[in-house]
């Protein structure tokens, strides 16, 4: 593969990793905000109820993260178009 092709792929992967990290932080902040405001109330009953509450919080985080995925995909495609799609074709 040409060095330019490898560099183009490295730039694209690093950009997508950065976008995924930003999306993950935003989803974490949204989940923390929802816990603080009472949308996801932690149970006060028992330890077992708290343990069963954790998957619900994890699902809430995952849904918030997946709602950001279309933005990651759109930005990655636009960035690949900006670099030039012909740069990604190995020769």
5, 62 in Cβ contact below 8 A?
Answer: no
If the chain, 91 residues long, is cut into consecutive pieces of 10 residues, what is the mean pLDDT of each piece? Answer: 84 89 92 91 84 91 90 86 82 67
Identify the pLDDT of residue 15: 87
What pLDDT was estimated at residue 91? 67
Number of Cβ within 10 Å of residue 35's Cβ equals 15
* Cα 16 from Cα 78, distance rounded (Å): 11
């Amino acid at each position: 593969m040409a060095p330019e092709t490898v560099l183009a792929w490295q730039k694209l992967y690093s950009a997508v990793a950065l976008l995924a990290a930003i999306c993950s932080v935003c989803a974490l902040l949204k989940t923390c905000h929802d816990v603080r405001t009472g949308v996801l109330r932690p149970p006060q009953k028992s330890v077992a109820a708290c343990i069963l509450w954790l998957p619900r919080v994890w699902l809430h985080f995952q849904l918030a993260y997946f709602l950001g995925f279309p933005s990651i995909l759109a930005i990655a495609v636009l960035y690949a178009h900006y670099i030039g799609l012909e740069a990604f074709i190995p020769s």
